């Protein structure tokens, strides 16, 4: 269905090719998963399928790409629109019209499909993706998962034989992501559509994949059966890690297969893990840094946060979880003092100062917040200039001067970032580190991060965990709003779960994460009822078994 | 208008002009509303008779009140009314301040102190006597303009502007797309500005001054640029501009034809509306412009192959609405059966204007649109009925499996 023949792609102005000598075949009806680190060429590979690379992006493509029998050298992306459907990362910026029905019809209108056929196809697509009740809604008012399903639907109405999806679930909460992935697998199984899918969160999709393409990062590609590739690749989901550790053959890819293989392991492992899932900090008597009680945030008639009370301690990393729209962001902004707060109190430090009563420049010296899109804070031309500006901002507002220059902080948390790079050219992980360094220059007692894991790959997440550990060790109170259970397992000591603006659960990470099977990391799901959360714990447990 | 490539032949139900269902709740074809409203506008431009103008306003009011939908654009009619009022007020105030139109023998209402002007600027006088005749004629002139404004407002209120854009000939399709994209991107831009301004406070910055402007503008513009690139890629991947295979010569010819056509139409429209211009110029310019435009659109549309989802049908209510609008225009343009002077009653001497029968009936006939046009679909029924219908469909599909 898709054939790459010794394909190489070099973008204008870059020395090394983004892809080199790539040859692959993707057969009809396969779900093909493309994995690799950020910047390894995933988007280039996907864009080459329908000719957006190089027709739209520029650059040089050598070799041949044939999709559904059409050579992309001869056909432009628009002439492939009837055989290749494309869905991007951010559905909202790809929408041309503003209501669901019109958006679904758009591709068909361009393909000149007669109106009677168009209506029939549109109704089928609405039902196929379960979005019939949204048909008259404005696209902007939909949730992220609904928008993504509409985007998939608008590609599907053209009846393409290939569907290309570039990280369709990276911006979604787990439930919406499940909806989208369920829709995608239904397309593969019921309609035989060939799907090419790039995804960071391997644990979500690896069970469904028929084939995996791994981009090593130097432009070369390895492809094959999922268990072969995932077993050898640098990036792999926890279930594969566990399988390799236990030496299971064939390597399980889904929790179900792994549970069946783990019967013996569950009997052997000691009842309590010999290691805690995170190293416990010595000197736990940390003071309360932020004490909030009865915080209410409302937008007109909508109550976003309903009388939430929360105490944050220095040296503790807290995860704030809950589905989209449960009030996580509103709570963070209210704690920082910049967001609205209709009722309740927030007091920071021993003096019990309320940051909302201070001017912004002083409030950020109490509580720092990194917003969902960190790039919103960056407006200068180089990393250097941003760091200098951060120093100036702080020294002009603080009698004691700066505790530590921004450059030093950045070198500590993310060493080796080029000073003359443009902030917009940095990867998502680097931008996050830069903004974090800028916010830390003000030396806040508490630092809040709103969905920092969005769009980060495994490497960047590991880097973020190191940074957060460092911050906690220096006595900051850290809060991370996130959906990523695997990340929370490794990064956080405490988990707070919100629903409909209320705090539902608040407790140690180990207890909260193992309490419910749906909310648990993969290893906990496989080894339940044993309270193991990470491979390190399992490895230690196995050592214990081997010794005795 | 658009040629469709046949992609499989499905047995299809073609609603004919007289098929039942013409008056089921739906939105009337936007072109019908525009013709109707513009015809009333032509009628309004022919008269300063306050009684006729009031009748036109009443007709507009009744039709708008009965036949507008529930969409955002449909709630804007009162802003046009405010604008209309402002036009009258401005006209009268100017007439009062700049003494003009006062003839000897007028009834002087009051006198404003005169501002002495330099001798080289003698054409305009500020202050002086204000007569009731001058004020009244200014008000009537203003009322005519206000009435025209209300006609445009009514068309915008009654016809969905997005659906009106879809009626554009395919040669102008790109223009329509640009407007649609702008309409959907504008709110995103507002969101983006709000988000960045809020985020800026996290860095301790204020929202005033040049630096703040840069700190907000740079991220917003970066965002907008990124989004427009993504949108362009998405449109390309979805087949936008698939068959744009016009040669350069044919594109140029299309442009020339359209431009001359537009110029002809403007000249013609101006001459037709201005009672003082020779009738030949008006009709001739109009006809020549129309021919050039149609030719240009046909030439431009030849290269396009595209279809419309749910095209608006044109059935008998559309015909009737169009016709009753045209009747009102013709009734006031062709002065048959009444004395043309009653359309523009003189204010010398001041007297109560008479109501000519034929023009009055012509204008009233336009009110027929309120009865003939189908009522707009109720928005609440969408929300309530649709999900039920589709659960039924899904249940049936489930049962079949």
Q: Which residue has the tokens 């956080």?
A: A492
For residue A48, what are its two tokens? 């080459």
Q: What is the pLDDT of residue B21?
A: 65
Q: What is the spatial distance between Cα B93 and Cα A6, in angstroms, rounded to a whole number?
A: 78
- Name residues of chain A where pLDDT drops below 50: 283
Among partner residues A114, A115, A439, which is closest to B310 by beta-carbon distance?
A115
Contact residues on chain B for A377, CB-CB shorter than 8 A: 199-200, 202-203, 219
Alpha helices in B274-351 (DSSP H): 279-301, 316-333
Beta strands in A266-412 (DSSP E): 288-299, 302-313, 317-321, 343-348, 367-370
Q: What is the spatial distance between Cα A91 and Cα A170, in angstroms, rounded to a whole number?
A: 11
- Is the minimum CB–CB distance between B166 and chain A shorter than 8 Å? no
Q: What is the spatial distance between Cα B66 and Cα B158, in angstroms, rounded to a whole number?
A: 10
Q: Quick one: which of B279, B263, B358 has its CA closest to B43?
A: B358
Instruction: Please return the burial class of A76, using the count of CB atoms within 10 Å of its CB with bins 0-12, 13-18 and 19+.
Output: middle
DSSP secondary structure letter of residue B307: -
Taking only the tens place, the pLDDT of each residue in B79-105 is: 999 999 999 999 999 988 887 777 777
- How far is the CA of B173 from the CAs of A328, B2, B169, B241, in angstroms? 44, 11, 7, 10
Contact A197, A32 (CB under 8 A): yes
How close does chain A come to B132, measured CA to CA in Å?
A: 51
Q: Provide long-range contacts, Cβ within 8 A and 24+ apart, for B254-259.
A: B254/B171, B254/B296, B254/B299, B254/B300, B255/B296, B256/B296, B257/B292, B257/B293, B257/B295, B257/B296, B257/B299, B258/B171, B258/B292, B258/B293, B258/B296, B258/B297, B258/B300
Instruction: Please return the burial class of A399, using the count of CB atoms within 10 Å of its CB with bins 0-12, 13-18 and 19+.
Output: exposed
CB contact under 8 A, B204 and A361: yes
- How far is the CA of A443 from the CAs of A261, A288, A438, A475, B18, in angstroms? 49, 17, 10, 11, 76
How close does chain B come to A441, measured CA to CA in Å?
A: 10
Domain ranges of chain B: 25-161+314-396, 168-241, 244-311
Q: How many residues does chain A have?
A: 548
Q: Which residues 72-111 of A have a C-beta within 8 angstroms of B?
A: 76-82, 84-86, 88, 90, 92-98, 101-102, 105-111
Contact residues on chain B for A338, CB-CB shorter than 8 A: 198, 201-202
Helix (H) or strand (E) holding A156: helix A144-156
- Is the minimum CB–CB distance between B346 and chain A shorter than 8 Å? no
ipTM, two decimals, is 0.88
Q: What is the spatial distance between Cα B58 and Cα B169, in angstroms, rounded to a whole number?
A: 33
Across-strand partners of A223? A213
Q: What domains sit in chain A, N to C, each tagged with a CATH number?
A: 2-236 (3.40.50.300), 288-515 (3.40.50.300)
Per-residue pLDDT, averaged over B126-133, amounts to 84
Question: What does the H/E/C string look like for A249-296?
Answer: CCCCCCHHHHHHHCHHHHHHCCCCCCCCCCCCCCCCCCCEEEEEEEEE
Taking only the tens place, the pLDDT of each residue in B181-197 is: 887 778 788 888 988 98
Q: What is the spatial distance between Cα A503 and Cα A498, in angstroms, rounded to a whole number?
A: 4
Nearest chain B Cα to A368, which residue?
A: B202
CB contact under 8 A, A105 and B305: no
Instruction: Please return the burial class of A400, using the count of CB atoms within 10 Å of its CB with bins 0-12, 13-18 and 19+.
Output: exposed
Tell whether the model's pLDDT for residue B244 goes beyond 70: no
Q: What is the pLDDT of residue A210?
A: 92
How close does chain A come to B379, measured CA to CA in Å?
A: 10
Helix (H) or strand (E) holding A489: helix A485-491
Q: What is the pLDDT of residue B16?
A: 52
* Chosen from B174, B238, B243, B306 to mutate, greatest number of chain A CBs within 10 A: B238
Tell whether the model's pLDDT for residue B153 goes beyond 90: yes
Q: What is the pLDDT of residue B388?
A: 37
Contact residues on chain B for A55, CB-CB shorter than 8 A: 236
Instruction: Please return the burial class of B49, using the count of CB atoms within 10 Å of its CB with bins 0-12, 13-18 and 19+.
Output: buried
Instruction: Flag whether the pTM goes above 0.95.
Output: no
CB contact under 8 A, B219 and A376: yes
Q: Which residue has the tokens 């992609």?
A: B7
pLDDT band at B19 (very low <50, low <70, confident <90, very high): low
CB contact under 8 A, B307 and A118: yes
Q: What is the spatial distance between Cα B317 and Cα A396, in angstroms, rounded to a whole number?
A: 71
Q: What is the spatial distance between Cα A302 and Cα A249, in angstroms, rounded to a whole number?
A: 53
How close does chain A come to B164, measured CA to CA in Å?
A: 14
∠ CA(A81), CA(A83), CA(A86), 5° rounding? 60
Which is more confidently placed, B383 or B195?
A: B195
CB contact under 8 A, A88 and B386: no
Q: Quick one: which of A515, A394, A413 has its CA closest to A464?
A: A413
Q: What is the spatial distance between Cα A119 and Cα A105, in angstroms, rounded to a whole number?
A: 8
How close does chain A come to B192, measured CA to CA in Å?
A: 9
Question: Mean pLDDT lowest for which of A422-436, B23-37, B120-134?
Answer: B120-134
Contacts of A508 (CB under 8 A, 6+ apart): A493, A494, A495
CB contact under 8 A, A110 and B218: no
- How far is the CA of B316 from the CAs of A23, B14, B160, B327, B370, in angstroms? 61, 15, 19, 16, 14
Per-residue pLDDT, averaged over B141-157, amounts to 93
* Chosen from B165, B187, B204 to mutate, greatest number of chain A CBs within 10 A: B204
DSSP secondary structure letter of residue B17: T
Q: What is the spatial distance between Cα A132 and Cα A150, in angstroms, rounded to a whole number?
A: 10
Tell whether the model's pLDDT for residue B46 goes beyond 50: yes
Contact residues on chain B for A390, CB-CB shorter than 8 A: 203
- Is the minimum CB–CB distance between A442 and chain B shorter than 8 Å? yes
Q: Quick one: which of B135, B59, B51 has its CA closest to B354?
A: B51
CB contact under 8 A, A373 and B195: yes
Per-residue pLDDT, averaged over B40-61, amounts to 93
DSSP secondary structure letter of residue B105: T
Q: Which residue has the tokens 């569907």?
A: A163
DSSP secondary structure letter of residue A191: I
pLDDT band at B326 (very low <50, low <70, confident <90, very high): very high
- Is the minimum CB–CB distance between B205 and chain A shorter than 8 Å? yes
Nearest chain A Cα to B194, which residue?
A: A376
Nearest chain B Cα to A157, which residue?
A: B238
Q: Quick one: which of A61, A63, A57, A157 has its CA closest to A107?
A: A157
Q: Given the DSSP bridges, would you call strands A302-313 and A317-321 parallel, antiparallel or unpaired? A: unpaired
Per-residue pLDDT, averaged over B135-159, amounts to 92
CB atoms within 10 A of CB A413: 21
Contact residues on chain B for A105, CB-CB shorter than 8 A: 309-310
Q: What is the pLDDT of residue B246?
A: 61
Q: Tell me chain B's radius of gyration from C-alpha atoms.
A: 27
CB atoms within 10 A of CB B213: 11
Tell whether the model's pLDDT for residue B12 goes beyond 60: no
How close does chain B come to A252, measured CA to CA in Å?
A: 31
Edge-first strand listing for the sheet containing A477-481: A367-370, A446-450, A477-481, A317-321, A494-499, A502-508
Among partner residues B177, B199, B233, which is closest to A52 by beta-carbon distance?
B233
Q: What is the pLDDT of residue B201?
A: 87
Nearest chain A Cα to B217, which residue?
A: A379
Q: What is the pLDDT of residue B275?
A: 67
Q: What is the spatial distance between Cα A197 and Cα A217, in angstroms, rounded to a whole number?
A: 18
CB contact under 8 A, A56 and B235: no
- Is the minimum CB–CB distance between B399 and chain A shorter than 8 Å? no
Taking only the tens place, the pLDDT of each residue in A188-246 is: 888 899 999 998 778 778 888 999 999 988 888 999 999 889 888 888 888 998 999 99
Which is more confidently placed, B307 or B316?
A: B316
Q: What is the pLDDT of residue A388?
A: 92
CB contact under 8 A, B202 and A84: no
Contact A117, B7 (CB under 8 A): yes
Q: Quick one: which of B22, B43, B51, B25 has its CA closest to B324?
A: B43
* Chosen from A55, A78, A329, A444 to mutate, greatest number of chain B CBs within 10 A: A78
């Amino acid at each position: 269905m898709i054939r790459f023949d010794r394909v190489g792609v070099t973008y204008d102005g870059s020395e090394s090719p983004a892809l080199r000598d790539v040859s692959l075949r993707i057969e009809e009806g396969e779900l093909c998963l493309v994995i690799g680190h950020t910047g390894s060429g995933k988007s280039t590979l996907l864009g080459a399928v329908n000719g957006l690379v190089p027709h739209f992006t520029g650059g040089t493509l050598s070799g041949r790409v044939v999709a559904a029998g059409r050579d992309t050298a001869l056909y432009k992306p628009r002439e492939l629109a009837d055989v290749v459907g494309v869905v991007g990362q951010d559905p909202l910026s790809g929408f041309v019209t503003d209501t669901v029905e019109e958006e679904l019809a758009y591709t068909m209108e361009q393909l000149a499909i007669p109106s009677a056929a168009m209506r029939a196809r549109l109704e089928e697509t609405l039902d196929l993706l379960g979005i019939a009740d949204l048909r008259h809604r404005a696209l902007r008012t939909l949730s992220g998962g609904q928008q993504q399903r509409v985007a998939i639907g608008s590609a599907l109405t053209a009846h393409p034989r290939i569907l290309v999806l570039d990280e369709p679930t990276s911006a979604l909460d787990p439930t919406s992501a499940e909806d989208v992935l369920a829709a995608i697998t239904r397309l593969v199984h019921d309609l035989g559509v060939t799907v090419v899918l790039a995804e960071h969160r391997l644990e979500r999709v690896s069970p469904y994949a028929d084939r995996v393409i791994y981009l090593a990062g130097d432009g070369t590609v390895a492809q094959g059966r999922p268990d072969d590739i995932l077993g050898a690749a640098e990036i792999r989901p926890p279930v594969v890690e566990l399988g390799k550790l236990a030496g299971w053959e064939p390597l399980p890819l889904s929790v179900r297969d792994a549970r069946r293989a783990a019967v013996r392991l569950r009997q052997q492992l000691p009842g309590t893990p010999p290691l805690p899932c995170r190293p416990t900090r010595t000197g736990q008597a940390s003071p309360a840094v932020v004490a909030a009680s009865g915080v209410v945030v409302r937008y007109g008639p909508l109550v976003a946060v309903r009388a939430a009370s929360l105490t944050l301690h220095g040296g503790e990393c807290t995860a704030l979880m809950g589905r989209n729209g449960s009030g996580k962001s509103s709570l963070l902004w209210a704690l920082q003092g910049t967001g609205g707060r209709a009722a309740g109190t927030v007091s920071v430090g021993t003096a019990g100062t309320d940051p909302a009563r201070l001017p912004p420049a002083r409030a950020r010296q109490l509580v720092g917040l990194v917003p969902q899109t960190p790039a919103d804070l960056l407006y200068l031309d180089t990393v250097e200039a941003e760091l200098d500006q951060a120093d100036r901002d702080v020294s002009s507002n603080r009698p004691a001067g700066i505790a530590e220059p921004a450059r030093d902080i950045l070198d500590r948390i993310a060493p080796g970032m080029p000073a003359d790079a443009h902030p917009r050219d940095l990867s998502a992980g680097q931008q996050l580190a830069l903004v974090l360094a800028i916010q830390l220059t003000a030396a806040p007692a508490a630092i809040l991060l709103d969905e920092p894991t969005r769009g980060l790959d495994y490497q960047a997440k590991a880097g973020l965990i190191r940074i957060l550990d460092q911050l906690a060790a220096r006595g900051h109170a850290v809060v991370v709003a996130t959906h990523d259970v695997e990340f929370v397992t490794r990064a956080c000591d405490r988990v707070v779960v919100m629903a409909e603006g209320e705090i539902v659960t608040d407790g140690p990470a180990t207890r909260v994460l193992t309490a419910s099977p749906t909310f648990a990391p993969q290893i906990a799901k496989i080894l339940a009822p044993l309270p193991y959360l990470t491979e390190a714990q399992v490895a230690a447990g196995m050592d214990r078994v081997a010794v005795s | 208008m658009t040629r469709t490539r046949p992609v499989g032949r499905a047995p299809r139900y073609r609603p004919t002009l007289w098929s039942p269902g013409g008056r089921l709740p739906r939105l009337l074809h936007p072109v019908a509303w525009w013709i109707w409203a513009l015809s009333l506008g032509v009628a309004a431009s022919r008269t300063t008779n306050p009684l006729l103008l009031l009748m036109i306003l009443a007709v507009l009011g009744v039709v708008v009140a009965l036949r507008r939908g529930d969409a955002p654009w449909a709630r804007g009619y009162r802003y046009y009314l405010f604008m209309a009022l402002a036009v009258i007020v401005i006209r009268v105030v100017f007439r009062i301040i700049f003494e003009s139109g006062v003839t000897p023998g007028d009834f002087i209402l009051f006198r404003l102190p005169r501002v002495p002007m330099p001798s080289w600027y003698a054409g305009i006088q500020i202050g002086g006597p204000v007569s009731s005749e001058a004020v009244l004629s200014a008000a009537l002139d203003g009322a005519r303009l206000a009435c025209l404004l209300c006609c445009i407002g009514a068309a915008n209120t009654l016809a969905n502007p997005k659906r009106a854009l879809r009626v554009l000939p395919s040669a102008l399709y790109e223009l329509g797309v640009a407007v649609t994209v702008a309409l959907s991107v504008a709110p995103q831009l507002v969101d983006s500005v709000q988000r960045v301004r809020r985020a800026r406070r996290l860095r301790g910055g204020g929202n005033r001054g040049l630096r703040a402007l840069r700190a907000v503008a740079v991220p917003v513009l970066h965002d907008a640029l990124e989004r427009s690139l993504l949108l362009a890629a998405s449109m390309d991947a979805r087949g936008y501009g698939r068959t744009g295979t016009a040669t350069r010569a044919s594109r140029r010819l299309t442009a020339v034809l359209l431009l001359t056509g537009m110029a002809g139409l403007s000249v013609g429209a101006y001459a037709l509306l201005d009672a003082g211009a020779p009738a030949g110029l008006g009709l001739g310019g109009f006809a020549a412009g129309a021919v050039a435009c149609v030719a240009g659109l046909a030439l431009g549309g030849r290269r396009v192959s595209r279809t419309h989802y749910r095209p608006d049908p044109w059935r008998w209510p559309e015909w009737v609405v169009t016709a009753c609008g045209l009747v009102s225009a013709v009734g006031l343009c062709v002065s048959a059966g009444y004395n043309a002077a009653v359309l523009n009653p003189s204010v010398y001497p001041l007297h109560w204007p008479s109501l000519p029968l034929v023009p009055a009936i012509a204008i009233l006939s336009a009110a027929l649109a309120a009865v003939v046009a189908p009522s707009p679909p109720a928005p609440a029924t969408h929300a309530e009925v649709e999900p039920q219908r589709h659960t039924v469909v899904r249940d049936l599909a489930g049962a079949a499996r």
